[in-house]
Amino acid sequence: MSSPAFMPAGTVYGTLLNTLDEWEALSPQMAQPPYQGAPKAPVLYIKTANTWSASGSAVTVPAQTTDVEVGASIAMVIGTPAHRTTVRDALDHIAAYVLMNDLSLPHASFFRPPVKYKNLDGFLGIGPRLAPARQAGNPNHFQLEVRIDGIVRQTVDYARLVRPAAQLLADVSEFMTLRPGDVLLLGCGANRPLARAGQRIDISAPGLPALGTLSNTLVAEVA
Amino acid sequence: MKRARVNYDGAVHDATEQAGQLLLDDGRRISFDAVHWLPPLPPAPRPRTILALGLNYADHAKELAFKAPKEPLVFIKGEGSLIGHRAHTLRPAGVEFMHYECELAVVIGKTAKKIRRDDAYDVIAGYTVANDYAIRDYLENWYRPNLRVKNRDTCTPLGPWLVDAADIANPMDLALQTRVNGQITQSGHTRDMIFDIPYLIEYFSSFMTLNPGDLILTGTPDGVVDCRPGDVVVTDIEGIGALVNTIAAAP
């Protein structure tokens, strides 16, 4: 008997600018308006429950939209409350890891919260299986591959983060408690591929087969 | 009907207001002082969506030196930031400017997708009062207002009552007031919202499904001041309720 698909019990927090390639790509703009400085705290956003799509399900692309941006990430599922945790203890709060497909309508400005770009129905694909943290090994060794219609279009190397998993968790828990069931994405990388209605997106983690493959197909909205 | 959710004598209860007392779901009548007040929301099967508006009153936008927005400025809060009536909100050490925001909160009652403004009131279960505290020291221009300002533990008191929508003739015709230690510091009126409640429901439901128990915090008017440990902050909306909160120093 197969177990039902994992769905988060808590709030899902996404993380912007946590990969070195994302940071480098945006750094020429950071001193300019409207940002007027590089971010100091982790830059977070929330993927609300209406965005959650099980692996294997189709995601509807709204009419008048051509491309959707694919934000593949490995996410941490919190097991015990994390409040002002230290870097040294941070990973003890993680129950498991899971794949996520953080879809967005492409947007160039990160000044205002991205709700109308990121919180559309179905716009967060959720991996089919959890990898228990004890068996997953060091998150700094994780890697991702993103395929669109079977062709590798992006890889993400979690050795190249602004804040590695433990540091990210510690810095977020400085200002808010992460509760059991909450989920925190490690980051989606630069050069995120675009996909269109009719295309299939597959995300997998080489070296961590326990996570399985997160697959979603994009379909056009029926007017 | 005014509905509450309280912790009394070792259990969580739904309650209603009856002649200045709480009528618990098990028939007991008790005083307001006998309970711990929780956010007045029924449990939701999935984490609820909490949408919050920035700069939705023209006078407050001007106070913060922003032009009135052309479309709603919205951010999202996690459920972990909510606390009930008569609770404490923590002020971190060393910050300069922490202020309340008195806001009318809309509680969604029906699944809502692509709702037209003429039908918007049909999807509302009721209203409550939110105090959407901000700690301005932590503002950054990345997804502003950023979560370090707006998603802190204890920083979103909600309550005391969920007032049934049927009991509020016109939510766009309510006076708002905040008192700090008994002094009026903020006065406004819901008719001065830039984007009114039907507009907001049409706008959000055009791209995202709203579900029963989801919240829309509709923004705050002019008149925010710094609050210090020991300050008693009462955010009060006509016909909805007076939400009491006390600032405490973070440990």
User: Which helix (H) or strand (E) element contains residue A28?
Assistant: helix A20-30
Mean pLDDT of chain B: 96
Mutate which: A65, A84, A116, vs B, most B CBs within 10 A: A116
Average pLDDT over residues B74-96: 97
* Domain shared by B34 and B153, yes or no: no
Residues in chain A within 8 Å Cβ distance of B89: none
B67 touches B61 (CB < 8 A): yes
Q: Are residues B21 and B98 in the same domain?
A: no
What is the distance between the alpha carbons of residues B164 and B160, in angstroms, rounded to a whole number? 13
Entry pTM: 0.96
| Residues B121, B195 within the same domain | yes
- Taking an 8 Å cut-off on Cβ atoms, the answer to whether A179 and B80 are in contact is yes
Shortest CA distance to B58 belongs to which of B240, B246, B219, B245? Answer: B219
Contacts of A23 (CB under 8 A, 6+ apart): A17, A162
User: Do B50 and B128 have their domain in common?
Assistant: yes
Spell out which residues of chain A touch residue B140, defining contact as CB-CB under 8 Å: 37, 39-41, 43
pLDDT at residue A191 in the model: 92
A48 neighbourhood in chain B, CB within 8 Å: 47, 49, 76, 208
* Residue B217 CA to its chain's centroid (Å): 5
Average pLDDT on B62-74 reads 78
Q: Which of residues 146-165 of B touch A (CB under 8 A)?
A: 146-148, 151-153
Residue B93 touches partner A, C-beta closer than 8 Å: no
Tokens 């509450």: give the residue: B4
pLDDT at A1: 43
B212-250 pLDDT tens trace: 999 999 999 989 999 999 999 999 999 999 999 999 999
- The rounded distance, in Å, linking the Cα atoms of A188 and A70 is 8
Chain A contact for B48, CB < 8 A? yes
User: Which of B73, B79, B142 is opposite residue A11, by nearest beta carbon?
Assistant: B79
B242: domain CATH number is 3.90.850.10
Task: Could you list the beta-strand ranges (E) of chain A.
Answer: 12-16, 43-47, 52-54, 58-61, 68-78, 94-104, 124-126, 131-132, 143-148, 151-157, 183-185, 194-195, 200-204, 213-220
The token pair that represents B231 in the structure block: 């300050």
* Pick from B73, B81, B140: CB nearest A40: B140
Say if the Cβ atoms of A50 and B47 lie within 8 Å. no
The domain of B163 spans 39-249
> To the nearest whole angstrom, how far is the Cα of A108 from the nearest Cα of chain B?
12
**B30-62 confidence digits (pLDDT tens):** 999 999 999 999 999 999 999 999 989 987 666
pLDDT < 70 regions, chain A: 1-3, 223
Whole-number pLDDT of residue A141: 95
Complex ipTM value: 0.95
Query: Domain with B30 in it: what CATH number?
Result: 2.30.30.370
Give the C-alpha separation, A44 to A188, whole Å: 12
Could you tell me if A145 and A155 are in contact, meaning their C-beta atoms sit under 8 angstroms apart?
yes
Q: Which residues of A touch B73 (CB under 8 A)?
A: 112-113
**Between chains, do B152 and A62 touch, taking CB under 8 Å as contact?**
no
Put simply, whether B89 touches A (Cβ < 8 Å) is: no
Share of chain B above pLDDT 70, in %: 97
Q: How far apart are CA A165 and CA B117, in angstroms?
A: 44
Q: Are residues B32 and B132 in the same domain?
A: no
Interface probe for A, chosen from B48, B83, B142 (most Cβ of A below 10 Å), is B142
Q: Left if phi > 0, otherwise alpha if psi is -120 to 50, otherwise beta: which for B239?
A: left
Terminal Cα-to-Cα distance of chain B (whole angstroms)? 38
In this complex, the residue of A51, A113, A177 whose CB is nearest that of residue B75 is: A113
- pLDDT score at B62: 66
Distance of alpha carbon B97 from alpha carbon A83, whole angstroms: 23
Query: Radius of gyration of chain A from Cα atoms?
Result: 17
- Distance, CA of A92 to CA of A89 (rounded, Å): 6
> Which residues of A make CB contacts under 8 Å with B?
7-11, 13, 16-17, 34-37, 39-41, 43-46, 48-52, 62, 83, 110-116, 119-121, 175-177, 179, 182
Torsion angle, alpha carbons of A37, A40, A46, A52, to 10: 100
Residue A111 to chain B, least CA–CA distance (Å) = 5
- Tell me if A119 and B73 make a contact (CB, 8 A cut-off): no
Residues A62 and A221: beta-carbon distance below 8 Å: yes
Q: Which of B74, B80, B147 sits opposite A115 (nearest CB)?
A: B74
Please give the pLDDT value at position B61: 64
Kindly state whether residues B7 and B47 are assigned to the same domain. Answer: no
B124 and B24 inside one domain:
no
Q: Are residues B214 and B135 in the same domain?
A: yes
Radius of gyration from C-alpha coordinates of chain B:
17
Coil, strand or helix at A144 = strand
- What whole-number distance in Å separates Cα of residue B134 and Cα of residue B102? 11
One-letter amino acid at A110 equals F
Decide if B138 touches A, using CB distance below 8 A: yes
How far apart are alpha carbons A48 and B51 in whole angstroms? 10
CA pair distance B34, B28, nearest whole angstrom: 12
Q: What is the mean pLDDT of residues B7-25?
A: 97
pLDDT confidence tier of residue B70, bands split at 50, 70 and 90: confident
Q: Are residues B80 and B185 in the same domain?
A: yes
User: How many whole angstroms separate alpha carbon A190 and alpha carbon A180?
Assistant: 29
Same domain, B46 and B162: yes
Residues 205-234 of B with CB under 8 A from A: 207-211
Q: For residue B167, what pLDDT is reported?
A: 98
Question: B151: closest CA among A79, A174, A61, A28?
Answer: A174
- Domains present along chain A, CATH in parentheses: 12-220 (3.90.850.10)
Å between A162 CA and nearest CA of chain B = 16
Chain A positions in Cβ-Cβ contact with residue B61 (cut-off 8 Å) = none
In this structure, are B108 and B51 located in the same domain? yes
B7 lies in the same domain as B112: no
Do residues B15 and B24 lie in contact, with contact meaning Cβ atoms separated by under 8 Å? yes
Quick one: pLDDT at residue B30? 97
- The tally of domains found in chain B comes to 2
B63 in reach of chain A (CB within 8 A): no
Q: Which residues of B touch A34 (CB under 8 A)?
A: 141
